[in-house]
Amino acid sequence: MPGGSTPGSDSIAECVNNLPLAMAYVPMQRWEETYEPGEALMNGTVFPSLNLPFLGGAKR
């Protein structure tokens, strides 16, 4: 095969090393009403409009 490897010959470590570290979605945000500090910590965001479920890259 070109590149010196055959299909299926990569080790798990080699495959993992080629995966992206993280996936982020960061929309533009205008300043708006915010949660109180305790509620913000419980929800994981200061902004109520960003209190959305994480779908893990699921297609809609």
> pLDDT at position 40, please?
96
Chain mean position to CA 58: 11
List, for residues 26-60, the tens digit of each pLDDT value.
Answer: 878 789 999 999 999 999 999 998 899 887 776 65
Separation CA 10–CA 38 (nearest Å):
47
Is residue 48 within 8 Å of residue 33, measured between CB atoms?
yes
**CA dihedral (50, 55, 57, 60) positive or negative:** negative
> pLDDT at position 1, please?
45
- Token code pair at residue 24: 């982020």
Give the global pTM.
Answer: 0.43
> pLDDT at position 4, please?
53
Q: Determine the residue type at 44.
A: G
- Token code pair at residue 55: 């779908």
> pLDDT at position 37, please?
97
- Token code pair at residue 40: 């913000």
> pLDDT at position 46, please?
93
